[in-house]
């Protein structure tokens, strides 16, 4: 177990040394007489050799030992930096990379690799001068006896401010921070609910206090008629000589005392809730700081990613007979390790296309007044909570006319159709699209930008492109700084909650009825019309209540293509954790994962590119009638706050939408403002009791289409007959069973649908 831990540290360290070596070898090739950095390369090879020996990786130790010898010989001026030498250095570096990859996969080292490296070294030393140097080195007794120790003190261990942490530990810490974020969201939501309840209690308490005060002022010192006092001790006193209190007076006095106690309790509760809110805000701050700190621990510099392309560009340029200079900037910009690992393939596609499509041959560049050597650059910078990466070349640019012709041939555009530059650039991201008629070793296979966009979208990022004919092209990739905890937009559709990363959202809008054309599938967005799709139609859901202006989420899927997704309601934004679906559900491309809402519900996280562009492999079945009815609206009318809350909870858990009112007058207001499918009402209420409400609903004709259920503590036949005569469909007596309530609601709604 200890050896495995040491090997993990070795692999983490080896990655850093290999980056240094590759960058240095390519610099040696460009400037063979500039040896200022040779000591750093020698030190990297020596450390790599020593670390390999420590963890008993003998083959890597042998290869690194040969590498160290050659670098020492170059440093001491014994071996000139020639092309064969540089090729051997790069070949040896590839050998170490291969061996490291074997160790990473848990496979044994291939010992033959060390023999091939040594054979190649003998070949480059086969010249007369090289042979003499090799013979002298071989005959040196010091060479044979030299121990595997540092040649100089530059490799001596020094105290460091850093410790190595395995990436798995950082991942576990980030998962814990994610769980803390979800818990924090839940606490903040529950605190808001408690504060709302406190306000409601204070309002009710204020009303009660006013009623008691009015009642008390009327009866505090009044003596009802025909009252008889039995206390013989007070018979000698007249009314003005001694205040006489009956039971009514005592009752009002007790009410005052009780309200004073309640008021004090509310004040204490308000203080507690204020402190709790402050503590939760502190948790939020600490959670954010801890998340940022741990996120920074698993971030790597963009330069480590950029330098991986140096060798690739060199080989591709050589293969295609082109001269290419590669530059990087913003290398100290830090990006999430997950993004670092997944970004290599998209950038490789873009760079391949730049060399094949963009950079001209030396002769063509000279004829255009350009230098023989083309330029490709990678630049990174941080903007807010995003990192922006630009891939730029100074080649011929994108031939938009060729794009148009190919798009017409493929049926993506109609002949003579007028399209803008943005739309043509967007077509480049269509699956299998390429302007080349023949394939070569670098591109033209119809696999590229569509894959690039898909991978970047899966990372909650965006890609855009700008081009100028004869001057070059820029691809811009915008990605979030971290990949685990993201900001999302929550929305509902078809009775379900969904989420989408806010980084993919262009804007939110309300769709005006006159601006939406359902037949054409378009909607007006300022001075243009864009495509519009209904999420319920895409996923086979039944739309919920949307009102006159349904909300929509606008996505910029590619340059020149915007799509509005119509939903039922937008709940807001929050930071949360997105978990992958897992291998069992990995084929559901329309979802990028799942999240947990502040209320503890699972929310599918949509992948808008896959959902809005690719055909659905299997449309989910439409909900049955029973599922549809569970999303209908119920009005609960009761003067008891406890009853309103309890019944609301039961129905909401069953999937219903619920409105409440404390008396018949409030209920009539709700019915006038909102369409309801069912009314559940008490009989004994202030202001307007249940019978008066039934009479008004009957007079308005509402009870003919909206069933009314009585829920009361009065269970006599006389009350039931009176309610039925005023249009009540069902009659329930408190206390009631939850199943009985749900079944009654279902039956009433079913009977309404049948009629």
> Binning pLDDT at 50, 70 and 90, where does residue 191 land?
confident
Architecture field, domain 626-754? 3-Layer(aba) Sandwich (3.40)
Question: How confident is the model over 84-108, as a mean pLDDT?
Answer: 86
Provide the CATH number for the domain formed by 300-480 in this structure.
3.30.565.10
Which helix (H) or strand (E) element contains residue 117? helix 112-124
pLDDT category at 476 given cuts 50, 70, 90 is very high
**463 - beta bridge partners?**
477
Q: Is the pLDDT of residue 426 over 70?
A: yes
Cα distance between residue 406 and residue 648, in whole Å: 60
Q: Is 262 helix (H, G, I), strand (E, B) or coil?
A: helix
| pLDDT at residue 145 tops 70 | no
At 250 the pLDDT is 61
Predicted local distance difference test score (pLDDT) of residue 628: 39
Cα separation, 48 vs 14, whole angstroms = 6
Q: How far apart are the first and last CA of the chain?
A: 73
Tell me the C-alpha to C-alpha distance, in Å, between residue 748 and each of 632, 637, 660, 754. 12, 17, 19, 10
β pairing state of 522-525 and 516-517: antiparallel
Q: Which two tokens stand for residue 688?
A: 């307007």
Look at residue 126 in the predicted model and tell me its pLDDT.
Answer: 66
Cα-based distances in Å from 668 to 200, 711, 733 = 21, 17, 23
Tokens of 498: 């969904």
Dihedral, CA of residue 34, residue 37, residue 38 and residue 40, to nearest 10: 180
What is the C-alpha separation between 735 and 711, in angstroms, rounded? 9
Q: How confident is the model at residue 508 (pLDDT cuts 50, 70, 90)?
A: very high
Q: How far apart are CA 514 and CA 649, in angstroms?
A: 38
The HSE-up count of residue 700 (CA atoms within 13 Å, CB side) is: 14
What would the mean pLDDT of 352-362 be, rounded to a whole number? 89
* Higher-confidence position of 599 and 667: 667
Q: Is pLDDT of 124 > 80?
A: no
pLDDT confidence of residue 1:
45
Picking from 105-109, 224-228, 536-540, which range would have the lowest pLDDT averaged per residue?
224-228
CA dihedral sign of residues 487, 489, 494, 497: positive
In order, the DSSP letters of 124-149 are HT-SHHHHHHHHHHHH-HHHHH--SS
Please provide the average confidence, as pLDDT, over all residues in the chain: 77
Confidence of residue 151 (pLDDT cuts 50, 70, 90): very low
Per-residue pLDDT for 475 more than 90?
yes
Please compute the mean of the pLDDT values over residues 197-217 and round it to a whole number. 70
Q: Residue 441 pLDDT more than 60?
A: no
* d(C-alpha 417, C-alpha 409), whole Å: 13
pLDDT digits 0-9 by tens, 456-473: 887 888 888 899 888 999
The reported pLDDT for the residue numbered 439 is 44
Res 340: pLDDT: 83
- pLDDT at position 410 is 84
CATH 1.20.120.160 for domain 2-148, yes or no, is yes
In the chain, domain spans: 2-148, 168-222+246-297, 300-480, 485-622, 626-754
Q: Is the dihedral of CA 591, 596, 597, 602 positive or negative?
A: positive
CA 630 to chain centre: 30
Q: Express each pLDDT in 580-634 by its tens digit.
A: 776 666 667 778 788 776 666 778 888 887 777 654 444 444 444 344 344 689 9
> So what's the pLDDT on residue 395?
92
- Residue 634 pLDDT: 93
Under CATH, which architecture does the 485-622 domain have? Beta Barrel (2.40)
Q: Which band of pLDDT confidence, cut at 50, 70 and 90, is reported for residue 709? A: very high
Check pLDDT > 60 for residue 167.
yes
Q: Is the pLDDT of residue 342 over 80?
A: yes
From residue 620, alpha-carbon distances to 4, 73, 492, 494, 538 in Å are 47, 69, 17, 12, 9
Q: Which of 143-152, 200-209, 305-314 has the lowest mean pLDDT?
A: 143-152
C-alpha to C-alpha distance for 3 and 172, rounded to whole angstroms: 22
Is residue 285 over pLDDT 90?
no
User: Out of 164-168, 268-272, 415-419, 575-579, which region has the weakest mean confidence (pLDDT)?
Assistant: 164-168
Take residue 143 and report the two structure tokens written for it.
């060479």
Instruction: Supply 336's token pair.
Output: 């999430």
Pair 92, 114: CB distance under 8 Å: no
| Residue 430 DSSP code | S
* Cα 432 off chain centre by: 28
Which whole-number Å values give the CA distances from 558 to 236, 423, 454, 562, in the listed order? 98, 9, 11, 7
The reported pLDDT for the residue numbered 447 is: 44
Name the least confident of 164-168, 448-452, 542-546: 164-168
For 365-417, how does the pLDDT look when each residue is reduced to its tens digit (9 = 90+)?
999 999 999 999 999 999 877 899 999 999 999 888 888 888 888 888 888 87
Residue 234 parent element (H or E): none
The pLDDT score that the predictor gives to residue 625 is: 39
Work out whether the CA dihedral 507, 511, 515, 516 comes out positive or negative: positive
Tokens for 342, please give them: 């997944």
pLDDT surpassing 70 at residue 646: yes
Count of CB atoms situated within 10 Å of the CB of 615: 5
CA distance 755 to 734: 29
Tokens of residue 164, six digits:
């190595």
Binned at pLDDT 50, 70 and 90, residue 173 comes out as confident
- Paired sense of beta strands 386-393 and 374-383, if any: antiparallel
Do residues 487 and 501 lie in contact, with contact meaning Cβ atoms separated by under 8 Å? yes
pLDDT in tens, 523-563: 888 888 888 898 888 888 877 777 788 899 998 876 667 88
What's the gap between Cα 208 and its chain centre? 48
Per-residue pLDDT of 263-284, as tens digits, reads: 776 777 777 777 777 777 777 7
pLDDT of residue 423: 80
pTM > 0.75: yes or no:
no
pLDDT at 599: 63
pLDDT over 70, % of the chain: 78
At residue 139, does pLDDT exceed 50?
no
């Amino acid at each position: 177990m200890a050896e495995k831990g040491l090997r993990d540290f070795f692999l983490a360290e080896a990655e850093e040394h290999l980056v240094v070596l590759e960058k240095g070898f390519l610099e040696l090739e460009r400037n063979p007489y500039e040896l200022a950095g040779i000591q750093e390369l020698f030190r990297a090879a020596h450390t790599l050799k020593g670390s390999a020996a420590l963890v008993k990786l003998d083959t890597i130790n042998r290869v690194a030992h040969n590498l160290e010898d050659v670098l020492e010989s170059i440093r001491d001026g014994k071996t000139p930096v020639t092309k064969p030498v540089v090729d051997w250095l790069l070949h040896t570096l590839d050998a170490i990379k291969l061996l490291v990859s074997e160790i990473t996969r848990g496979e044994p080292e291939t010992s033959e690799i060390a023999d091939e490296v040594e054979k190649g070294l003998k070949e480059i030393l086969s010249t007369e001068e090289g042979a003499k140097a090799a013979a002298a080195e071989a005959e040196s007794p010091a060479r044979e006896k030299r121990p595997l120790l540092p040649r100089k003190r530059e490799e001596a261990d020094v105290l460091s401010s850093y410790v190595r942490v395995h990436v798995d530990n950082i991942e576990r810490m980030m998962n814990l921070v994610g769980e803390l974020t979800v818990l924090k969201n839940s606490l903040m939501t529950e605190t808001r609910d408690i504060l709302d309840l406190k306000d409601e209690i204070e309002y009710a308490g204020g009303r009660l206090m006013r009623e008691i005060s009015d009642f008390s002022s009327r009866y505090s010192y009044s003596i009802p008629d025909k009252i008889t006092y039995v206390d013989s001790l007070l018979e000698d006193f007249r009314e003005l000589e001694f205040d006489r209190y009956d039971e009514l007076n005592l009752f009002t006095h007790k009410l005052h005392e009780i309200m004073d106690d309640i008021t004090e309790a509310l004040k204490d509760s308000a203080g507690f809730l204020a402190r709790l809110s402050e503590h939760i805000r502190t948790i939020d701050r600490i959670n954010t700081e801890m998340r940022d700190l741990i996120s920074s621990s698993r971030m790597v510099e963009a330069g480590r990613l950029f330098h991986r392309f140096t060798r690739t560009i060199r080989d591709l340029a050589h293969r295609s007979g082109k001269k290419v200079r590669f530059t990087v900037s913003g290398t100290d910009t830090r990006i999430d390790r997950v993004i670092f690992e997944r970004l290599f393939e998209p950038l490789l596609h873009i760079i391949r296309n730049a060399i094949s499509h963009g950079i001209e041959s030396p002769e063509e560049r000279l004829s255009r007044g350009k230098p023989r050597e083309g330029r490709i650059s990678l630049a990174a910078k941080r903007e807010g909570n995003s990192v922006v990466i630009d891939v730029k070349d100074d080649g011929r640019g994108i031939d938009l006319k060729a794009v148009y012709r190919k798009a017409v041939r493929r049926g993506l555009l109609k002949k003579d159709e007028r399209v803008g530059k943005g739309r043509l650039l967007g077509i480049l991201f269509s699956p299998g699209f390429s302007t080349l008629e023949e394939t070569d070793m670098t591109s033209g296979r119809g696999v590229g930008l569509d894959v690039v966009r898909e991978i970047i979208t899966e990372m909650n990022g965006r890609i855009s492109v700008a081009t100028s004919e004869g001057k070059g092209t820029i691809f811009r990739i915008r990605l979030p700084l971290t990949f685990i905890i993201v900001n999302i937009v929550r929305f509902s559709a078809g009775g379900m909650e969904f989420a989408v990363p806010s980084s993919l959202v262009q804007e939110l809008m309300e769709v005006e009825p006159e601006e939406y054309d359902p037949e054409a599938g378009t909607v007006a967005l300022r001075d243009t019309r864009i495509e519009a799709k209904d999420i319920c139609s895409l996923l086979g859901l039944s739309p919920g209540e949307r009102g006159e202006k349904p909300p929509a989420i606008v996505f910029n899927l590619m340059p020149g293509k915007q799509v509005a997704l119509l939903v039922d309601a937008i709940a807001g934004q929050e930071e949360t954790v997105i978990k992958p679906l897992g291998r069992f559900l990995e084929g559901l491309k329309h979802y990028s994962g799942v999240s947990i809402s502040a209320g503890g519900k699972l929310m599918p996280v949509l992948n808008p590119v896959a959902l809005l562009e690719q055909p659905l492999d299997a449309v989910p079945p439409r909900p049955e009638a029973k599922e549809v009815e569970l999303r209908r609206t119920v009005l609960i009318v009761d003067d008891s706050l406890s009853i309103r809350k309890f019944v609301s909870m039961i129905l909401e858990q069953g999937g219903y939408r619920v409105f409440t009112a404390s008396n018949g007058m409030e209920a009539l207001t709700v019915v006038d403002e909102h369409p309801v499918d069912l009314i559940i009402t008490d009989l004994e209420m202030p202001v307007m009791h249940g019978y008066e409400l039934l009479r008004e609903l009957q007079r308005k004709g509402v009870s003919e289409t909206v069933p009314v259920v009585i829920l009361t503590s009065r269970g006599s036949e006389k009350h039931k007959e009176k309610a039925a005569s005023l249009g009540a469909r069902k009659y329930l007596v408190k206390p009631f069973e939850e199943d009985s309530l749900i079944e009654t609601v279902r039956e009433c709604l079913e009977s309404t649908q049948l009629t």
